[in-house]
Amino acid sequence: MTMVVAILIAILVLGTLLYLGRGYWAWIGAVLVLIAGGHFSGASPVLTGLVLILTGSLSLIFGMHSLRRSLLTRSLMKIVRRNLPVISETEQTALDAGTVWWDAELFTGRPNWKRLSEFNVTGLTAEEQAFLDGPVEEICRKTDDWKVAQDRDLSPEIWQELKDQKFFGMIIPKEYGGLGFSAQAHSAVVLKLSSRSLPLSVIVMVPNSLGPAELLLHYGTDKQKKYYLPRLARGEEMPCFALTEPKAGSDAASIQSNGVLCKEKFEGKEVLGIRLNWRKRYITLAPVATVVGLAFQLHDPDGLLGTKKDLGITCALIPRETKGMTIGKRHDPMGVPFPNGPIEGKDVFIPLDWVIGGEKGVGQGWRMLMESLAAGRSVSLPSLSLGAAQLSTRVSGAYATVRRQFGTPIGKFEGVAERLARIGGLTYGMDAARRLTCAAVDAGERPSVLSGIAKAYLTENMRMIFLDAMDILGGAAICRGPRNLLSRAYDGIPIAITVEGANILTRSMIIFGQGSIRGHPFVPQELQSVAKNDLNAFDEAFWGHINFTASNAVRAGLDGLTGGCFIKVTGPKASRRHKQRLTRYCSAFVLLADVSMLVLGSSLKRRETLSGRLADALSWLYLATAAIKRFEDEGAQKDDQIYLDWFCAYAFQQIEQALITITHNYPVRYLGTLLRLRTFILGRTAHGPKDEQSLELSRRVMGEKGGRDRLAADLAVSKDSDEALGALEQAYAKVLEVAVLDDRIRDARKAGKLKGVPREELHEAAAKEGIITAEEFKELQAAEALADAVIEVDSFTPAAYKKLKG
């Protein structure tokens, strides 16, 4: 009996100390308890002594760092070095790009909620808000997306106004003539423009994202900045950046465009320069660009800059009129008429000072691109995606109210309500992620992993939202014409999914791969110490990692058993339970990540399905974090609780699905079973939003408690009843206004007063029976006429149909 008690006490000591992160003392304490239990149970003194000697020896080895390094760590370091994946120089540059922020907290398994609470998500300045309310609204008002589709371009007047109002210079500092806007403002502008016209938003977005202005700001010479930045800000120069080519898409580091250093005459003088040959495609704004940012491999066969022959990827700025460049042809991406096309160059000579950064910029192009992309991806496509999501929310909420079937607004049918809830819930979470990620950029971060999450998962959520909205609108969404509010944006969804890093690649190879190497508490130090052959640093990092994994294994098990309800968190009561559950999933995620890195080693790089599911878990952990942050920053209002609850329930379902699926498909089957028992011993507990939550949220999307305005607050909303959105808004407002009359008629019908009256004659019959007044009858007829008008779809004569362009 004494030994049984000792075993139980030893397990308690081991578990408690491991939970507290005291791995060294955990096993020593547990063994000492077992030795004492054996002694009092009558174990042989000789055996007890031998065990004590063994325990003392091991504690000495592990407790004395110099002894541990000599006897254990040196050999372990050799094994680790042999099993590390081979990482090329370009891969290492990509991995090192940007900064680590909240993603590092998620990799601890115990995120610091106080740190997040104290982080300030900045709003717009008065100047930025005035720009949004003034020039942005005015551009939206003047832009007719249907006309843009037919003309295949913005009007010359819109192009000129974009230049005059410095839309192309939002990220350029005021000292160079730009607007000097924050990432939040840049994002808000793209969001609003995208809700009006996809081509309009793309044309404005690209010069302010990854491109010549961004690269010049961070890496250009003073001369380059003073010349180009004011011209770019005023729209005198229209930039594009040429990276993608036929054999280098997602694998951009494999570009074959090449330049050779040489001396030639340029403008009457012999200068050191580069002879270039290239073939690029999918280059946005190329057909209208006046200056081309070009990425190419640079070679120095004659040693003009030193002994190194292959200098690496380099970026240069090339004016459109440069001899040998072919530019102007257009691609047709999904019929969306924003300028996009190929660029070719044959035997093009440029002076060396056209390289971004001059001679110091030679060979630095890949680093420039990766660091700039880390910030640019945080703003551009996430903002465009949210604009589409908010448009879907506003349109589907109104349409589900106006459109009736069987005498009832279609939004009241549970099947439609379920889709409305998903539209509204995902839109809330997407907006939260956009704000938080932009705030990180404004705070000086360049969050490469989080920007990848924002780009990939916000565009994927946009795709789901749009599909739901298209289903709700039915024929009104698929018949093209001026009245269709969704089809033209819907056509552009694959573009957002594909560009700035294809989502498949981003999910399966980048998010977790880069996150684990950059954000983990110990992996970066382990890799660096191995690379530098620093035994002391490796010893500290490796054994710290072992202690971390053991501690997290205990935490993950206990958290899984208790649902994390004993985890200490701070903040408003309304969000605390969500923080506990999210922390519980963090510990499970980190345990699976650590075991996978330990067991699979370099082969994890090739396990893209496993890496992709770990990316799913990490991404939804971040998205749920953003929703919690938004809820608390906005005062944890009671009316907002439904948005947070719905989104967290959905996110937790995605996280559980990803992690449990990993354990069911684990390469080492028995280990997958053990991991599942450790992290999800109670099985699945996250089953998504409850039906009553979805029904309540759907009512918000249809306008209850101002939900429709709340979720789609950043759109450009037309008040012109001659336009599709303006007409829908007018019909929606009128239908809500007469809803009380419809309720009165329905109640009368239930009471038997209008028994047998056909549905289409109810209003007239109610007026005759005195249930409604003659004036109220007119109001109902007016509302019905407006509703009928907005559910109509466009039709064309055969001749006009043949001329349609989108």
Strands 291-299 and 269-284: what pairing?
unpaired
State the number of CA atoms in the 13 A half-sphere of 795 facing the CB. 3
What one-letter code names the amino acid at 190? V
Burial class (CB in 10 A: 0-12, 13-18, 19+), 682: exposed
Task: Please name the helix (run of DSSP H) or strand (run of DSSP E) that holds residue 261, with its range, or none.
Answer: strand 258-266
Is 14:30 a contact under the CB 8 Å cutoff? yes
For residue 500, indicate whether it is catalytic: yes
Q: How far apart are CA 241 and CA 219, in angstroms?
A: 15
Among residues 470, 384, 411, the alpha carbon closest in space to that of 708 is found at: 411
Is 549:537 a contact under the CB 8 Å cutoff? no
Alpha-helical segments (H) within 206-275: 212-219, 222-234
Q: How is residue 160 written in tokens?
A: 């000129």
Phi, psi dihedral angles at 343 (to 5 degrees): -135, 135
Q: How far apart are CA 273 and CA 266, in angstroms?
A: 9
State whether the Cα torsion 498-499-503-508 is positive or negative.
Answer: positive
Candidate list 128, 500, 723, 776, residue with the active-site label: 500
Among residues 745, 798, 88, 105, the alpha carbon closest in space to that of 450 is found at: 105
Q: How far apart are CA 250 and CA 232, in angstroms?
A: 28
Q: How is residue 439 written in tokens?
A: 């705030």
Is 451:381 a contact under the CB 8 Å cutoff? no
Burial class (CB in 10 A: 0-12, 13-18, 19+), 444: exposed
Cα angle, residue 199 at apex, residues 197 and 202 outer, rounded to 5°: 110
Q: Is 444 left (phi over 0), alpha (psi -120 to 50) or beta?
A: left
Is 609:418 a contact under the CB 8 Å cutoff? no
Task: Please name the helix (run of DSSP H) or strand (run of DSSP E) that holds residue 589, with its range, or none.
Answer: helix 573-600
Phi, psi dihedral angles at 557 (to 5 degrees): -65, -45
Is 179:371 a contact under the CB 8 Å cutoff? no
At a CB cut-off of 8 Å and minimum separation 6, what does 526 contact? 80, 538, 541, 542, 545
Alpha-helical segments (H) within 403-486: 414-442, 448-473, 475-478
Q: Using the structure block, give the residue that is written with the tokens 């440029």.
A: 350
Q: Crossing angle of helices 23-40/2-19, nearest 10°?
A: 170
Q: Provide DSSP, 82-137.
A: HHSPP--HHHHHHHHSSB--HHHHHTTSS--HHHHHHS------HHHHHHIIIIIH
Alpha-helical segments (H) within 680-768: 691-701, 707-711, 724-737, 739-750, 762-768
What one-letter code names the amino acid at 725? L
Among residues 648, 652, 644, the alpha carbon closest in space to that of 710 is found at: 644
Q: How far apart are CA 671 and CA 185, in angstroms?
A: 48
Cα angle, residue 540 at apex, residues 539 and 546 outer, rounded to 5°: 85
Is 541:77 a contact under the CB 8 Å cutoff? no
Cα angle, residue 698 at apex, residues 692 and 704 outer, rounded to 5°: 105
Catalytic residues: 500
